[in-house]
Structure 1
Amino acid sequence: MAGHSKWKNIQNRKGAQDAKRGKIFQKMSKEIYVAAKSGGPDVESNAALRLAIEKSKSVNVPNDVIKRAIDKATGTGADENYEEVIYEGYGPGGVAVLVYCLTENRNRTAPNVRVAFNKNGGSLGESGSVGYMFDRKGRLFIERTESTDEDIVMMAALEAGADDIESTEEGFEIVTQPSDFLAVKESLEAEGVEFISAEIEMIPSMYTELSAEQEEQFEKMLEALEDDDDVQDIYHNAAE
């Protein structure tokens, strides 16, 4: 958001995740459960499960937690039914917000999300009200270090199908089509590259600037949404 680089935002998000480790584990377990239930437990044939596991490991979810979620999805707990629900709306200053939820009870989730918006200067919109401002893309962040070889990063990413690479003093931001995300990630991993973030996200095509007061209010709204057990991911177009 205003006054903060995207790199700083990633670091802040990682710190917030560390502070809410139990809740993060619960949310990632749910995501793994849904992926395993819909596509089976084999990560080689189930790309959604593979991505969910990699995302879980990036936030230090233990292997036994991952295994329990998969076992539950394919065993005695497979009768649970979560559905993905996407809420669209506006935050303070007209910021566009997408909220992705996994829930077994819409009647619980919808009011909770609405309250988080309404109490913090926002409002829920109709389906499609802000979704057109976002594109689903793979995005990988690589921090620049003394051992980083820019030519290797560029070559490996482009040859594997990356759409765009932005190189800055802090590192590299690589954008891919969702279908090319794993190929690009694996190509870079084969070169020994490590990521500070690697996910398929909803990336905004336009951004909204916030005042300091609006930014503070928006942070409170994000915190309220992140505290909801049904909320999996939040995307917005607040300027960084």
Structure 2
Amino acid sequence: MAGHSQFKNIMHRKSAQDAKRSKMFGKFLREISVAIQEGGGRDLSSNPALRSAVAKAKQANVPNANIAKILKGNSQEDRPYEILRYEGLGPANSALIVDIITDNRNRSACDIRTIFYKHGGRMTDSNTVGFMFERKGMILYEVTKFHKEDFILFALDSGIQDVEEAEESCVLFCALERLHQVADQLEKKFGLAKEVQAAWWPHHWVELPDAESYDKLDQLHSALTQHDDVQRVWDNVI
């Protein structure tokens, strides 16, 4: 009986892990679908956002068959989605923007409002905090395989307006309307970017007053990103 009980526990954990994996697969497939909707069709050669979305899905071990279906238009995930933005206030009036991809805006709004409420924040009306952010094109590269200074100089010459450097990566920002053009130029020189997407970047960063506030913000972030319809959460906290 003990062995039977242990087997049940193992299968229960595996089932939970499979459910989480399936949920994440769905998010990556939705991102591919939106890249097709917004980025110029199913042709990988002419759609850098689609190439980036497919690469991310493959890195996350989304089955190739699932990716192939959506590229051919044969997947249940390949349907029109609404791309929405929800705004809210978190701990110490920190500002958050939540990128949503949904097929049911009423469900999404209700769920996101509840998540904010449960974590001590509140969802706000449109542009209550949106004016604190700027919409930009964002391109993320890992720069361990080439000379960082040469990469940055080429990026600036290609239309990049701002660069955020880390030890092994660079986040590049450009005008949103030039995102795909700039991403294409960089890809021809340095290979596929890790991410190509529209971003909400704060005009000014703020610090929270204490460690507890940072913990609460982390919990709010975690709860939001676990929701099926949430693709990305942005905030103005440093």
Match for residue 228 of structure 1? 227
How far 1:138 moved relative to its partner?
2.6
How far has the Cα of 1:47 moved from its partner? 5.6
Q: 1:209 corresponds to which residue? A: 207
Identify the residue that residue 165 of structure 1 maps to in structure 2: 163
RMSD over aligned Cα atoms:
3.1
Cα gap change, 1:124 to 1:190, in 2 (>3 Å): same
Among all aligned residue pairs of Structure 1 and Structure 2, give the percentage whose two residues are the same amino acid.
36
- Per the alignment, residue 69 of structure 2 pairs with 68
Q: Aligned partners of 2:142 and 2:67: how far apart in 1?
A: 27
Distance in 2 (CA, whole Å) between partners of 1:65 and 1:78 is 9
Which one has more relative contact order, counting CA pairs under 8 Å at least 6 apart? Answer: 1
CA deviation vs aligned residue, 1:64-107 (integer Å, no higher than 9, x gap): 22222233xx3485894421222111111111111121222223
Question: Are the counterparts in 2 of residues 156 and 184 from structure 1 also a CA contact under 8 Å?
Answer: no
CA offsets, 1:10-37, max 9 Å, x none?
A: xxxxxxxxxx543321112122234435
The separation in 1 between residues aligned to 2:49 and 2:189, in whole angstroms, is 24
Name the counterpart of 1:106.
Answer: 105
Match of 1:87 in 2: 86
Name the residue aligned to 2:154.
156
TM-score, normalised by the number of residues in structure 1: 0.75
Letter in 2 for 1:203: W
Q: 1:1-240 to 2 correspondence within 5 Å?
A: 21-36=21-36, 39-46=40-47, 49-57=50-58, 59-71=60-72, 74-75=73-74, 77=76, 80-143=79-142, 145=144, 148-167=146-165, 171-192=169-190, 197-210=195-208, 211-239=210-238
What runs of 5+ residues in structure 1 fail to find an aligned partner?
Answer: 1-19
SS in 2 for 1:228: coil
Displacement after TM superposition at 1:172 (Å): 3.5
Kept in 2: contact 1:55–1:199 (CA 8 A): no
Structure having the higher Rg: 2
Q: Quickly say closer, same or farther: Cα 1:57–1:187, change in 2 above 3 A.
A: farther
Unaligned runs of 5+ in 2: 1-19
**Cα pair distance change 1:57/1:136, threshold 3 Å:** farther
Q: Distance in 1 between matches of 2:152 and 2:166?
A: 13
AA matched with 2:57? S
- How many residue pairs end up in the alignment? 218
